[in-house]
Amino acid sequence: MEVEKFEIKKNRNIMTEETVNKSYKKINIVFIAAYFSILIMMIIGYFFGNKNGIWNEQSNQAITLTSIYYIFLLATIPFSLYFFNKKNKEWIALTNETEKLQRYERGAVWRVAGVWASGFIGTVIYFFLIHSTSIIFCVSISVVALLFCRTNTRTIFSQLNFEEEDENEIKNIEIKK
């Protein structure tokens, strides 16, 4: 008696590497643009900016503005990363994989934008107003935080549980002849 084995997959929209690669490329373009815009702005500010700044580094306005920026920096970076991870748990529960990937893509762009905002605002403060070295260190923190926003296709697959679902949907059937 011969036994033939077949694998049957449910007929549904299974994410392919090509679809995830398209999303990865979009996210990566936003990441690279954000990363290099902060770095270029810092270089321009350091070499070509007003070396004295508009305000003295020890003035009340500069101290207040710097303190507000520190609070903004300490709030936006963790909030962006936390909010993305919280939403990612909601996206995993979605059954439509295309919608799941679109929401992930949009969320990843907003995560990069949140971290980018903290660095870009810091460079503007540094460039135009204060020209303080402490702001350079804070902007460096946001540049390093941007590295935590970087993703790849394997990360997308694992964070959205695409591989796990694909393995669970394959059924082995044996037919006896």
pLDDT of residue 39: 84
In sequence order, what DSSP letters do the residues of 84-143 get, joined into one string? HHHHHHHHHT-S-HHHHHHHHHHHHHHHHHHHHHHHHHHHHIIIIII--HHHHHHHHHHH
Beta bridge mates, 144: none
**pTM of the shown model:** 0.71
CB 53 within 8 A of CB 129: yes
pLDDT digit string (tens) for the chain, length 177 residues: 555 544 444 434 456 778 888 989 999 999 999 989 888 887 887 777 666 667 777 888 888 888 888 888 888 889 988 999 999 999 888 888 888 889 999 999 999 988 888 888 877 777 777 777 777 788 888 888 888 888 888 888 888 887 544 444 444 545 555
pLDDT of residue 145: 87
Residue type for 75, please?
A: A
